[in-house]
Amino acid sequence: MPSGVEWAFRFASETCRSPVAAVSRWKWLSGRKAAGCIPIYVPEEVLHAAGMLPVTIWGNEFPPSPYGGVPPFVCSVAAGVVSAIRSGNWGEIDAWIFPSTCDTFQNAFEALFPPEDGRSRFPFVFPATADTHGAAEYMLDRVEAFREWAGEVSGRAVSEGALERSIRVYNENRRIFALLEERMTESPGSFSGMEFLTLSRAGMILPKEGHTEILRAALSRQGDASGNVRAKMFVTGIMATPSVMEAMDAAGAAIVGNDLALGHRYYSGSPEEEGDMPLSLARRHLRRDPCSTLHGSVRPRIEEVLRNVARSGADRLLLLRMRQCEPEAGDIPDIASASRDRGIPFLCLDVDLHAEERASAKVRIEAFVEMGE
C-alpha cells in the first residue's frame, strides 16, 4: 500500500496528466455539471455553491490542434484554449466563464465557439481599476449576476448558506496551500519545482475538498533537502511549464517564493466568512495582490514582487514571460531595472506551452544558478 504522501503525489500527477478523465469521473460520480474557467480570477465559490465543478483551463491540456482559426498573434495559453474548444476536446465542460484578464478573451469569447455549440457562457468583466469610483458597486453587481447565471445553468439556486459554506471550503484550501508555500520558504528544497507545479495544477481541476486532503498528505512528508540547494529562487510570471521546472530541479534551484498565476496568485487572498457573502467575494477581488492583468499601475506590482523576494530569502529572481502576453511583457523593463538597482540577479525566460524548449531552458537556468556561486 502506498503511503499517504505517495498517494497524494500519484493522484495529483494522474489528474494533471488526464484532466478530462478526472472531470468525467467527477461528473459520473456526482451527476452534476462542470464549468470551464479561463484563468484565473473567476469567483469559483459561486460555482461550487451551485453544485458545479470549476475547472481552470490553461491551454496545454492537449497537443496543439491543426484546427484553423487560432490567431497567430495571441499567447500560447489563449491559442491552446481556443484550439481545444474548437476541436471539441473539452466536451465534458457544460458552461464557460471568461474573465476580462486580457483583450484576447474579453473580446473573443463569443467568436471562438462553433455556431452549433450552445453551451452557456458568462463574460465576467472586471472594473478597470480597484479604486475607481463605483468599482465596488460594479463588482458586486457582477458577482450577483454570476450567482444568478450559475443557478440557472446548474438548476440549483445559490443560497446565502450554500455560498458561505463554499467560501469556507475554499478558504481552508487556501490556508493549506499557504502552508505548502511556507514550508518551501522555510525549508528550501522540501518540495521540488515539479511537485509544486503538480500540486498547484491539480487544485484547479479537482474539487477543493479533495485537493485539500492531497495537500495535507503531501505536507506530512518529513525530511530536509536544503543540502542539495544551489540557489533560492523567487519565480514570477503567468505560469511555469514542466520543462522549466525540470530544469530548475536539475540545476539545484529551490523555489522559495512565487507569484505565479498558476500558483500563488490563484490561491492567495481569502474572503470574509461572515456577513454579506457576495460582497465578501467582491471585496476579495478588489483587494487582490497587484497583477499586470488586473487593476493598479505597474509600480505597485513591482514593489510587491521585490518585497516578496526579500521576505522569502531568495537570492535570484526568475520571470517566466509567456510569449506574446502583452500585460506581463509590459512589466519586464521595470522589473529588470528595479532588480538591478537592488543587486538581485534577474533572468527573464520566455515560455511557450506548445514549443519544445527543454534544452534552452536547461542551459539558461543552469547558467543563472551558477551566477554568484
Entry pTM: 0.93
| SS3 state at 138 | helix
The two beta strands, 53-56 and 34-37, are parallel
> For every one of its 373 residues, what pLDDT tens digit does the chain have, with 9 covering 90 and above?
356 889 999 999 999 999 999 999 999 999 999 999 998 899 999 999 999 999 999 988 887 665 556 667 778 888 888 888 888 889 999 999 999 887 777 766 666 677 788 889 999 988 878 778 888 999 999 999 999 999 999 999 999 999 999 999 999 999 999 999 999 999 999 999 999 999 999 999 999 999 999 999 999 998 766 668 999 999 999 899 999 999 999 999 999 999 999 999 999 999 999 999 999 999 999 888 878 777 665 567 888 899 999 999 999 999 998 887 777 777 788 888 989 999 999 999 988 887 766 678 889 999 999 986 6
Which one, of 318, 344, 313, lies nearest residue 332 by Cα? Answer: 318
**DSSP state letters, 10-45:** HHHHHHHH-HHHHHHHHHHHH---EEEE-SS---HH
Q: How far is CA 370 from CA 236, 318, 325, 329, 367, in A?
A: 20, 14, 29, 26, 5
Whether cis (ω within 30° of 0) applies to the bond prior to 97 is no
Which runs of consecutive H residues, i.e. helices, occur in the chain? Answer: 4-17, 19-30, 44-49, 76-86, 103-108, 135-154, 160-186, 193-202, 208-219, 242-251, 264-267, 277-286, 298-312, 326-329, 332-341, 358-370
